Amino acid sequence: MAILRVLTSLLLLFSSFNFSHSLYEDQVGLMDWHQQYIGKVKQAVFQTQKAGRKRVIVSTDENVVASLDLRRGEIFWRKVLGAKDSVDEIALALGKYVITLSSEGSVLRAWNLPDGLMVWESFLTGSESSKPLLLVPETLKVDKDSVILVYGCGSLHAISSIDGEVLWSKDLATEGILVQQLIYNDENDFVYAVGFDGVSKFHLYQINAKNGELLKHNSAAYPGGFSGEMLLVTKDRLVTLDSSRSTVVAIEISEEKIVFEPTQVSDLQDVSGTAVLLPAKLAGIFAVKVNTVILFVKVTNFGKLELVDKLDHTVAVSDALSFSEGQQAFALVQHEGSKIDLTIKLNNDWSSNLLKESINMDQDRGVVQKMFINNYIRTDRSYGFRALLVMEDHSLLLVQQGEIVWSREDSLASVIDVTTSELPVEKDGVSVAKVEHSLFDWLQGHLLKLKGTLMLATPDEVVAIQKMRLQSSEKSKMTRDHNGFRKLLIVLTRAGKVFALHTGDGRIIWSQLLHTLRKTGSCESPSGLKLLQWQVPHHHAMDENPSVLVTGRCGVTSDSPGVLSIVDAYSGKEVNSFSSIHSIVQVIPLPYTDSKERRLHLLIDDVKRAHLYPQTSEAVEIFKSEFTNIYWYSVEENNGILRGHAVKSNCILDVADEYCFETRDLWSVVFPSESEKIITTVTRKLNEVVHTQAKVIADEDVMFKYISKNILFVATVSPKATGEIGSVTPEESSLVVYLIDTITGRILHRMTHHGSQGPVHAVLSENWVVYHYFNLRAHRYEMSVIEIYDQSRADNKDVLKLVFGKHNLTSPISSYSRPDVVTKSQSYFFTHSVKTIAVTSTAKGITSRQLLVGTIGDQVLALDKRFLDPRRSLNPTAAEKEEGIIPLTDSLPILPQSYVTHALKVENLRGIEVIPAKLESTTLIFAYGVDLFFTRLAPSRTYDSLTEDFSYALLLITIVALVVAIFVTWILSERKELQEKWR
């Protein structure tokens, strides 16, 4: 009987949950959009011979292998390898397979060229890591089987291209020699493996390509030593640099001997500085970069070096391409103001150009970083060339006949940070009617919808309805809407480019390659850090534009100088910028704004000085008045120390700086280094709104939530257990979680999970924290919840006291008062491993919350917070059920309908950004990884608005019909009364 009751209650429950967030098939794409990207291209191979569909195969920095349509740039297929499985080399084999070498030369895969299905996969083993090399000789056959040569993990492998079987392998790393080049000699089926041993000795292995037999091993020492890089110039000549990088050493190899021919760089051209070999493979020619010039040097038949040209360093060079018998060509790209010059030259003839084109190029794309060329036969039977360009902003362009055929904005595959901006307010001048359809169109559209609803529409009309819904101009307008669904998503990418995307359809409104984040002489490796809202005008919304602050640093370490840019959110123009300022370790947006509604920010540098922005005297005044109430904390993950800080006084520097402040330590929490290591810290989102302070529980009791903006969740694990799951026994590993007040450093709660291990993903909201970890004892992932309640206000329950005013509800809350808190917690099993967790947030915080779990399958799962209620019990009482408490289960349900991303995947999902809409029931969700996905979600259904497919026409018709019916019946009854009276 009890089971039955549980069953029915479960049934009720699931039924109420399910349809709260599921989607009909025809609703896909109505309020969500999905964009696919590939990332910055590393390597490209063209496949244009005889194939009907011309395509280019690319590998990228985001570990993607993709086949792109050469005509439009669309993705035919795309494979995203794991985060640690970076692609080293790609090649084509047998004309039908794409061969990829990844994970530092240890995994070789073959993909079917037309559809991207994996044909075979081969794991190569070896003794040590080395530079991975891939060679696909076309003519080499072993038992009618084409062979792929791979040098990886210190061994040379020959692999069958049919099934990926390792035919032979030869360990070359035993003597400490690192192979730099593989050279295949097709005359006698030899493979030369050449490399260095340490710095001074050059080695040459001659190996029989048929069976892997080592035929000969030559070595020779060069007194100057080698720098490590090597280029194959002709079949028997290599070029390298000596250890001082001032001499080019040409190496002639033959079966008998090794001959070194050194030439000073200064002899070639009167330049000084260290030389770098460019990796472009140009037959007979090589390119050396010295300071800011690139020297093109020809190697003559007798090993003599001859300078052929000297060009500016911004030039990009492609590899040589053989296009007709014995003819080889390569391409050069030079920047010329707003244009680029593409030159194709024949290898053996520098003076004349095969082709010279000038292409208009957007300044916003920066310089050309890589170029790949391909030839085709023109209609007049002459040779034409097309070039694939990889730009500084990671975009990919195809150039042909002096025009950009297509371009892809692939920096959007590497989003670092996201923020939002409101769209401009609708001004009086802009007429709505222009954007809206005319009344007739509007009515027609609704009639069509009505037909659809009544199932009267023909298939053609259904298509028309679908199209109309997708293209509804309403959602992609450039003005603010009443519901707050239309916004600008401002994203910062790894390339240093900032984009503004429209939430309606995901189109790019503007993009800007920030000059502060571009590589310059003073800033060698710039990287973006954070994107923050700088100015959000409310009072001056009509005449001031909002702007965002981009922070970044020049270099990898935290002490490298920082850069700041302020970008207008409507136009993308850089309003202000600071380059090479103090280092930036932490950016703290303060809850104060100046008279122009610019937010005050505190930037902490690596010597713990605080710098105030914007740098105006007004900002300093505001800051000084709130001086004593500003606190922040820092996490030293490597040391295992948390520290709290406050501002002390102005900096004592040689040059007076009124915007710089000294800080002091207020508190510290030191985790014992032998037993605990910090792995995760999470705080509440700054803009979160909590509606109800108290929670009424079943027995009409009240619990007060402990709501503090200053709670920090910290998870630590045993130092041993920081590795992979399963590398430690349950006894050795434990997970400790903390809730810490960041003003005073009080540990509010501390709890140990024995036998558990990270990685920990957590989210903190309102008065609760939910975290995900691995339970080693149960061999399963778990999710736990901790809710924290304030006991000091628990006395306020007495009605009499409330009436007589003897309550402390109105008293302000201070961190310096001793907190009196109780916590409740519970754990559940969860099937998936998790990439990231977020929580929905709405404008007023009334709507119940859902957890957004980024699963390992790159999807976003919405999980009702009610499943993670620590008060769930096995047999809830009737009152508890009424309150919405779900009977306890040991694991959390994963309902297929509750995937927010429905059938789509956000490849390499990295983050989920939640933005509250103006409409209380709705929240906007933006998930990013290699792909971008945006949707609207209503955790408790759209209780405050009609659904999109609501048919107004049907309602109108019904009303009209009703009115008519009333009149008809009224007339009838009148008539009848009259008749009765006449009787």
Q: Which of 374, 411, 511, 827 is in the footprint of other proteins by CB under 8 A?
A: 827
Q: How far apart are CA 197 and CA 195, in angstroms?
A: 7
Distances (CA, A) of 484 to 420, 425, 602, 862, 936: 12, 11, 30, 22, 11
Q: Judged by CB under 8 A, does residue 29 bind other proteins?
A: no
Tokens 């993990």, located at residue: 153
Q: Which two tokens stand for residue 653?
A: 């520097």
What burial letters (b/e) apply to 68-99, b meaning 16+ CB within 10 Å? bebeebebbbbbbbeeeebbbbbbbbeeebbb
Q: Judged by CB under 8 A, does residue 648 bind other proteins?
A: yes
Q: Judged by CB under 8 A, does residue 754 bind other proteins?
A: yes
Q: Judged by CB under 8 A, does residue 7 bind other proteins?
A: yes
Q: Which of 223, 337, 521, 812 is in the footprint of other proteins by CB under 8 A?
A: 812
Minimum CB separation of residue 642 from other proteins in Å reads: 8
Q: Judged by CB under 8 A, does residue 833 bind other proteins?
A: no
CB 847 within 8 A of CB 839: no
Stretch 85-144 residues interacting with other proteins (CB under 8 A) = none
Q: How far apart are CA 587 and CA 612, in angstroms?
A: 10
Q: Judged by CB under 8 A, does residue 761 bind other proteins?
A: no
CB 98 within 8 A of CB 92: yes
Q: Judged by CB under 8 A, does residue 31 bind other proteins?
A: no
Number of residues that bind other proteins (CB under 8 A): 87
Q: Judged by CB under 8 A, does residue 474 bind other proteins?
A: no
Minimum CB separation of residue 746 from other proteins in Å reads: 4
DSSP per position, 407-443 = EE-GGGGSEEEEEEEEPPPPPTTS-HHHHSPPHHHHH
- Rank residues 23 and 276 by Cβ distance to other proteins and give the closer one: 23
Q: Judged by CB under 8 A, does residue 591 bind other proteins?
A: no
| 3-class SS string, 833-851 | CEEEEEECCCCCCCCCCEE
Task: State the angle between helix axes of 952-982 and 439-453 in degrees (0 to 180), rounded to the nearest 10.
Answer: 80
- Rank residues 652 and 655 by Cβ distance to other proteins and give the closer one: 652
Q: Judged by CB under 8 A, does residue 746 bind other proteins?
A: yes
- Rank residues 128 and 636 by Cβ distance to other proteins and give the closer one: 636
- Rank residues 281 and 609 by Cβ distance to other proteins and give the closer one: 609
- Rank residues 498 and 760 by Cβ distance to other proteins and give the closer one: 760
Q: Judged by CB under 8 A, does residue 829 bind other proteins?
A: yes
Q: Judged by CB under 8 A, does residue 666 bind other proteins?
A: yes
Q: Which of 377, 425, 972, 978 is in the footprint of other proteins by CB under 8 A?
A: 972
Minimum CB separation of residue 109 from other proteins in Å reads: 38
Query: Helix or strand or coil: residue 596?
Result: coil
Q: Judged by CB under 8 A, does residue 550 bind other proteins?
A: no
Distances (CA, A) of 378 to 354, 381, 386, 400: 14, 5, 11, 11
- Rank residues 856 and 968 by Cβ distance to other proteins and give the closer one: 968
Query: How buried is 496 (Cβ within 10 angstroms: 0-12 exposed, 13-18 middle, 19+ buried)?
Result: buried
Q: Using CA atoms in the order 486, 487, 489, 490, what is the torsion angle rounded to 10 degrees?
A: 150
Q: How far apart are CA 391 and CA 397, in angstroms?
A: 8
Stretch 613-632 residues interacting with other proteins (CB under 8 A) = 628-629
Distances (CA, A) of 27 to 366, 450, 467, 947: 40, 16, 11, 11
Q: Which stretch binds other proteins (CB under 8 A): 191-199, 224-232, 364-372, 825-833?
A: 825-833
- Rank residues 433 and 455 by Cβ distance to other proteins and give the closer one: 455
Q: Judged by CB under 8 A, does residue 490 bind other proteins?
A: no
Nearest to 790 by CA among 823, 768, 816: 823
- Rank residues 314 and 891 by Cβ distance to other proteins and give the closer one: 891
Q: Judged by CB under 8 A, does residue 880 bind other proteins?
A: no
The residues with which 341 forms a beta bridge, in sequence order, are: 334, 358
Q: Which of 76, 120, 592, 671 is in the footprint of other proteins by CB under 8 A?
A: 671
Q: Which two tokens stand for residue 681?
A: 């810290």
Residue 530 CB: number of other CB atoms within 10 A? 16
Q: Which of 196, 485, 828, 926 is in the footprint of other proteins by CB under 8 A?
A: 828
Q: Judged by CB under 8 A, does residue 955 bind other proteins?
A: yes
Minimum CB separation of residue 976 from other proteins in Å reads: 7
DSSP E strands in 10-160: the ranges are 33-35, 41-47, 55-60, 64-69, 75-80, 87-93, 97-102, 107-112, 118-123, 133-135, 141-142, 145-152, 155-160
Q: Which stretch binds other proteins (CB under 8 A): 28-36, 274-282, 603-611, 747-755?
A: 747-755
Instruction: Work out whether strand 285-290 and strand 275-277 pair parallel, antiparallel, or are unpaired.
Output: antiparallel
- Rank residues 757 and 827 by Cβ distance to other proteins and give the closer one: 827
Minimum CB separation of residue 934 from other proteins in Å reads: 23
Amino acid at 190: F
Q: Judged by CB under 8 A, does residue 813 bind other proteins?
A: yes
Q: Which of 221, 903, 962, 978 is in the footprint of other proteins by CB under 8 A?
A: 962
Q: Which stretch binds other proteins (CB under 8 A): 23-31, 229-237, 599-607, 845-853?
A: 23-31
Q: Judged by CB under 8 A, does residue 809 bind other proteins?
A: no
Q: Which of 502, 601, 753, 902 is in the footprint of other proteins by CB under 8 A?
A: 753
Which H or E run includes 786? strand 780-790
- Rank residues 509 and 666 by Cβ distance to other proteins and give the closer one: 666
- Rank residues 308 and 454 by Cβ distance to other proteins and give the closer one: 454
Nearest to 504 by CA among 489, 517, 482: 489
- Rank residues 385 and 631 by Cβ distance to other proteins and give the closer one: 631
Q: Judged by CB under 8 A, does residue 575 bind other proteins?
A: no
Minimum CB separation of residue 365 from other proteins in Å reads: 45
Q: Judged by CB under 8 A, does residue 149 bind other proteins?
A: no
Q: Judged by CB under 8 A, does residue 493 bind other proteins?
A: no
- C-alpha 712: how far from chain center: 25
Q: Which of 301, 363, 557, 814 is in the footprint of other proteins by CB under 8 A?
A: 814
Q: Judged by CB under 8 A, does residue 877 bind other proteins?
A: no
- Rank residues 10 and 367 by Cβ distance to other proteins and give the closer one: 10
Q: How far apart are CA 215 and CA 192, in angstroms?
A: 10
Q: Judged by CB under 8 A, does residue 665 bind other proteins?
A: yes
Q: Judged by CB under 8 A, does residue 18 bind other proteins?
A: yes
Q: Judged by CB under 8 A, does residue 810 bind other proteins?
A: no
Q: Judged by CB under 8 A, does residue 969 bind other proteins?
A: yes
Q: Which two tokens stand for residue 480?
A: 């603010």
Q: Judged by CB under 8 A, does residue 890 bind other proteins?
A: yes
Residue 634 CB: number of other CB atoms within 10 A? 17
- Rank residues 405 and 778 by Cβ distance to other proteins and give the closer one: 778
Which H or E run includes 311? strand 305-312
Q: Judged by CB under 8 A, does residue 729 bind other proteins?
A: no
Give every strand in the sheet of 415-422, ordered side by side. 415-422, 487-493, 497-502, 508-513
Q: Judged by CB under 8 A, does residue 376 bind other proteins?
A: no
Q: How far apart are CA 417 and CA 421, in angstroms?
A: 14
Distances (CA, A) of 602 to 196, 268, 611: 51, 53, 6
Q: Judged by CB under 8 A, does residue 875 bind other proteins?
A: no
CB 474 within 8 A of CB 372: no
Q: Judged by CB under 8 A, does residue 464 bind other proteins?
A: no
Q: Which of 314, 369, 444, 453 is in the footprint of other proteins by CB under 8 A?
A: 453
Query: Helix or strand or coil: residue 273?
Result: coil
Q: Which stretch binds other proteins (CB under 8 A): 97-105, 544-552, 762-770, 965-973?
A: 965-973
Q: Judged by CB under 8 A, does residue 885 bind other proteins?
A: no
